[in-house]
């Protein structure tokens, strides 16, 4: 074995190192040349076959060659790692000047918007908001509103009973009693917005939960004409200055006289269409002069004080406003529907 043979080998090894273009290629080069079972180890081991007087020089020569190959390998490793890092940095570069990706933002539910609009109109007329419980006493929901137990007027609503004496309020009217008792004996002018619950068959026109807004105005000088003025103003604020209302005699146990109030059909403006069933009018709400029994239960002397009250369904107004024909859409939480109102 001659040192020149090892040198020749080393020249080849350096040349093949130069062609390595990835860390994987480098690893297999290392396996072939510098690892324990590699070719250089074989040369080191062959020192025994060298003539004794040349062994020292051979050994030193091989070690030198090995040192150079190790150094070259390290150098190449650093180069390749740097190159790979540079490549990654270039490819993963973030362009901060690009516009941000748009993402969808939430919005208000159409019923919330309608509710707020309604409250806004009444607020402008001097009403404040009074909130009363959703889970309510039978007494507040019916008895104090002049609907005794077993009275047939209870059939006007199919009520969810929590227990014998407690109900999920089927209308916002129990808030009338609470508001009068808490805010009286002076004048009271409040609206009572909130969710109500009834055991209805769910259809295009009715849901088992729905928002109502109740209105109450109590005072010594309150008259029926106030009711008419307030409701006409309300209809005009909501549906335009040409709007007209019509009162029809009706029956509610808590008002006397009682009326149902219609507005000119918002679609055909009174001409007659499918929505108003060709009558030109749409039912808007129930209202009336507060029944003396209710005023008394609210803590007032009905010979001295009068009150007006009204109750309207929020979804119904939203249906009219947006010309929607199915109330169920409001509760299905389909974003394609809901996002149209933002
Ligand atoms: N509470 C009635 C209902 O849920 C609506 C109503 C009618 C409220 C007449 C009133 C009223 O205050 O005076 O159907």
Q: How confident is the model at residue 52 (pLDDT cuts 50, 70, 90)?
A: confident
This model's pTM is above 0.85: no
Structure tokens at 102: 């748009």
| Ligand 1 pocket residue status of 171, Cβ below 6 Å | yes
pLDDT tier at 48 (50, 70, 90 boundaries)? confident
pLDDT at 229 (0 to 100): 97
In the chain, the percentage of residues whose pLDDT exceeds 70 is 100
Q: Is the pLDDT of residue 55 over 90?
A: no
Atom of ligand 1 nearest to the CA of 156: 14
Please name the helix (run of DSSP H) or strand (run of DSSP E) that holds residue 290, with its range, or none.
strand 281-290
Share of the chain above pLDDT 90, in %: 62
pLDDT tens profile 23-46: 899 999 999 998 988 888 888 888
165 touches 138 (CB < 8 A): yes
Q: How far is CA 19 from CA 10, 14, 198, 256, in A?
A: 14, 9, 83, 103
Q: Measured between alpha carbons, how far is 229 from 310 in angstroms, rounded to an integer?
A: 13
Among 76-80, 123-127, 152-156, the range scoring the smallest mean pLDDT is 152-156
Whether 177 and 297 have beta carbons less than 8 Å apart is answered as: yes
Q: Cβ(26) to ligand 1 under 6 A?
A: no
- pLDDT mean across residues, the chain: 92
Q: For the segment 135-151, what is each residue's pLDDT rounded down to a tens digit? A: 999 999 999 999 998 88
pLDDT at 106: 86
**Rounded to whole angstroms, what are the CA distances from 100 to 94, 95, 96, 106, 164?**
12, 11, 9, 18, 58
Residue 221: which pLDDT band, with cuts at 50, 70 and 90? very high
pLDDT per position as a tens digit, 161-216: 999 999 999 999 999 999 999 998 999 999 999 999 999 899 888 889 999 999 99
State the CB neighbour count (10 A cutoff) for residue 316. 19
Of 63-72, 97-106, 116-125, the range with the lowest mean pLDDT is 97-106
Q: Is the CB of 311 under 6 A from ligand 1?
A: yes
- Ligand 1 centroid from CA 247, angstroms: 14
Residue 120 confidence (pLDDT): 97
Task: Encode pLDDT of 272-282 as tens digits.
Answer: 888 788 999 98
pLDDT at 1 over 80: no
Q: Whose CA is nearest to atom 7 of ligand 1?
A: 286
Given the CA of residue 311, which atom of ligand 1 is nearest to it? 8
Residue to substitute in 252, 257, 312 for testing ligand 1 pocket (most ligand atoms within 8 angstroms of CB): 252
pLDDT digit string, tens, across residues 291-317: 999 999 999 999 999 999 999 999 989
| 33 Cβ inside 6 Å of ligand 1 | no
Using the 8-state DSSP alphabet, how is residue 202 labeled?
P
- What pLDDT sits at residue 56? 87
Residue ID of nearest Cα to ligand 1 atom 3: 171
Q: CA geometry: angle at 82 spanning 81 and 86, to 5°?
A: 120
For a substitution probing ligand 1, which of 136, 156, 157, 171 has the most ligand atoms within 8 Å of its CB?
A: 171
Residue 250: pLDDT over 90 = yes
């Amino acid at each position: 074995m001659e040192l020149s043979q090892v040198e020749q080998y080393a020249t080849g090894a350096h040349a093949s190192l130069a062609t390595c273009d990835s860390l994987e290629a480098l690893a297999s080069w290392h396996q072939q040349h510098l690892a324990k079972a590699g070719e250089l180890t074989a040369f080191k081991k062959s020192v025994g076959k060298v003539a004794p007087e040349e062994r020292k020089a051979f050994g030193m020569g091989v070690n030198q060659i090995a040192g150079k190959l190790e150094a070259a390998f390290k150098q190449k490793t650093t180069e390749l790692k740097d190159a790979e890092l540079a490549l990654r940095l270039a490819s993963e570069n973030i362009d901060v000047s690009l516009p941000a990706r748009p993402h969808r933002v939430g919005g208000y539910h159409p019923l919330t918007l309608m509710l707020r609009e309604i409250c806004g109109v009444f607020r402008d007329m001097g009403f404040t908001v009074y909130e009363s419980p959703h889970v309510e006493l039978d007494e507040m929901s019916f008895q104090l509103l002049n609907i005794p137990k077993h009275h047939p007027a209870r059939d006007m609503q199919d009520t969810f009973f929590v227990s014998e004496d407690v109900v999920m309020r089927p209308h916002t009217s129990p808030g009338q009693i609470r508001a009068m008792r808490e805010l009286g004996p002076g004048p009271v002018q409040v609206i009572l917005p909130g969710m109500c619950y009834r055991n209805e068959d769910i259809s295009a026109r009715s849901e088992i939960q729905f928002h109502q807004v109740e209105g109450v105005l109590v005072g010594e000088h309150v008259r029926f004409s106030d009711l008419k003025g307030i409701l006409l103003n309300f209809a005009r604020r909501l549906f335009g200055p040409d709007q007209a209302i019509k009162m029809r005699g009706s029956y509610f146990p808590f008002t006397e006289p009682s009326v149902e109030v219609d507005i000119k059909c918002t679609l055909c403006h009174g001409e007659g269409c499918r929505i108003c069933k060709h009558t030109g009018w749409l039912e808007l709400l129930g209202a009336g002069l507060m029944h003396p029994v209710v005023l008394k239960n609210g803590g007032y002397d009905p010979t001295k004080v009068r009150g007006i009250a009204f109750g309207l369904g929020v979804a119904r107004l939203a249906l009219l406003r947006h010309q929607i024909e199915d109330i169920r859409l409001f509760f299905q939480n389909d974003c394609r529907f809901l996002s149209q109102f933002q």
